[in-house]
């Protein structure tokens, strides 16, 4: 019998949104009761233990653990570099280009939370990575998009634009890491399950 889960009836989102979305897996996550000690440690934090996505990825605990530590440092290390909202814009732009509605919802919401610029963030979702977002966000979003495309379109032009927008080399490396990391995350989110609209929003 196939272990692949398909959902005939699912409340799917109609497009990119900053509202919170759910995500359902196409392969069975490890149940909380069945987690080994190694798997619990790899999940690091209680909120990941509650998540189907992370309990699916924990089928390879070492890979999940290393990936999570990379993720956390790129996006939350407070020492120097790019402002946190801008790192979320790099993540959101990659997600917008790849078409990952779930990742985009999480990271545009964080960009709004960090910056208070909900309308700018919404334009990125509605119009795409060429939308007017203000100089610094525009060049970060477009550089992230250039690095997301295949073959890579990221080169001297992007570096110059990022410098002209005031980014130092450490900030440019944060933008590169943020965009690159979401090319990892988007591919997992898009291919191991799909987004849903939570019931409480559906009623509203």
Partner 1 sequence: MTMTETTHAQTTSGSADIIDSLCQITPGSDLDTIRRSRAQARENAQRSFEVLLDPQDPGTFPLSERYAVAAYTVALQASQSAALDFYLELTEEETDSHFARSIEQLARAARSVGPYGEYREPRHTRESEPGTTVHYDAKEVPGSSPRLAAALEHAHLLSLHPRDARPEHLKRLENAGWSADEIVTLSQLIAFLAFQIRVVDGLLALADNPSPEETR
- We find the least distance from the C-beta atom of residue 114 to partner 1, in angstroms, to be 18
Residue from 48, 52, 70, 196 touching partner 1 (CB under 8 A): that is: 70
- Structure token digits, residue 27: 């392969």
In the complex with partner 1, the residue whose CB is nearer, 6 or 116, is 6
Question: Measured between alpha carbons, how far is 91 from 189 in angstroms, rounded to an integer?
Answer: 13
Residue from 155, 164, 166, 199 touching partner 1 (CB under 8 A): that is: 155
- When asked if residue 164 is in the footprint of partner 1 (CB under 8 A), the reply is no
- Helix (H), strand (E) at residue 68: helix 61-76
- We find the least distance from the C-beta atom of residue 179 to partner 1, in angstroms, to be 7
Question: Measured between alpha carbons, how far is 169 from 146 in angstroms, rounded to an integer?
Answer: 18
Residue from 27, 132, 135, 164 touching partner 1 (CB under 8 A): that is: 27
Touching partner 1, residues 30-69 (CB under 8 A): 56-57, 59-60, 62-64, 66-67, 69
- When asked if residue 82 is in the footprint of partner 1 (CB under 8 A), the reply is no
- When asked if residue 202 is in the footprint of partner 1 (CB under 8 A), the reply is no
With a CB cutoff of 8 Å and minimum separation 6, the contacts of 204 are none
- Structure token digits, residue 31: 């149940």
| Torsion-angle region of 30 (φ positive above 0: left; ψ -120 to 50: alpha; else: beta) | beta
Packed helices 84-98 and 118-127: angle between N→C axes, nearest 10 degrees:
20
Where would I find the H helices in 77-134?
A: 84-98, 101-115, 118-127
Residue from 35, 85, 97, 111 touching partner 1 (CB under 8 A): that is: 97
- When asked if residue 5 is in the footprint of partner 1 (CB under 8 A), the reply is yes
- We find the least distance from the C-beta atom of residue 136 to partner 1, in angstroms, to be 17
Name the residue with tokens 């410098």: 163
- We find the least distance from the C-beta atom of residue 187 to partner 1, in angstroms, to be 4
């Amino acid at each position: 019998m196939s272990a692949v889960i398909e959902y005939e009836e699912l409340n799917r989102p109609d497009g990119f949104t900053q509202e919170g979305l759910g995500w359902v897996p196409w392969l069975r996550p490890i149940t909380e009761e069945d987690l080994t000690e190694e798997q619990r440690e790899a999940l690091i934090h209680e909120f990941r233990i509650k998540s189907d996505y992370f309990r699916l990825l924990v089928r390879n605990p070492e890979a999940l653990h290393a990936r999570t530590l990379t993720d956390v440092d790129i996006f939350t290390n407070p020492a120097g570099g790019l402002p946190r909202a801008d790192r979320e814009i790099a993540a959101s732009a990659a997600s917008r280009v790849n078409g990952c509605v779930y990742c985009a919802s999480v990271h545009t919401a964080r960009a709004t939370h960090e910056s208070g610029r909900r309308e700018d963030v919404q334009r990125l979702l509605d119009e795409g990575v060429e939308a007017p977002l203000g100089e610094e966000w525009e060049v970060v979003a477009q550089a992230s998009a250039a690095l997301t495309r295949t073959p890579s379109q990221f080169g001297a032009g992007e570096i110059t634009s990022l410098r002209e927008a005031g980014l130092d080399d450490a900030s440019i490396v944060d933008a590169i890491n943020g965009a690159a990391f979401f090319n990892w995350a988007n591919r997992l989110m898009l291919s191991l399950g799909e987004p849903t609209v939570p019931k409480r929003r559906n009623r509203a």
